[in-house]
Amino acid sequence: MLESLGFIQDILHHLDYLWVTVLMAIESSFIPFPSEVVVPPAAYKAAQGEMNIFLVVFFATLGSDIGALVNYYLARYLGRPIVYKFASSRLGRLCLLSAEKVEKAEGYFVKNGVTSTLVGRLVPGIRQLISIPAGLAGMPVGRFLLYTTIGAGAWNIVLALLGWFIGRTVPPELFAETIKSYSTTIGLVIIALLVVAGIGYYLYKRNRKAE
Domain span at 30: 5-210
**In the predicted model, what is the mean pLDDT of residues 175-198?**
65
Q: 68 or 95: which carries more pLDDT confidence? A: 68
Dihedral of the alpha carbons of 105, 123, 143, 162, in degrees to the nearest 10: -150
* Three-class DSSP labels, 28-45: HCCCCCCHHHCHHHHHHH
What is the number of domains present in the chain? 1
CB of 2 within 8 A of CB of 36? yes
Q: Categorize the per-residue pLDDT at 141 as very low, low, confident or very high, splitting at 50, 70 and 90.
A: confident
CB of 156 within 8 A of CB of 39? yes
pLDDT, mean over the chain: 75
**pLDDT over 90 at 209, yes or no:** no
**In the predicted model, what is the mean pLDDT of residues 128-136?**
77
The letter for the amino acid at 55 is L
> What gap in Å lies between CA 10 and CA 49, rounded to an integer?
18
**pLDDT over 70 at 130, yes or no:** yes
Predicted structure pTM score: 0.72
pLDDT of residue 17: 92
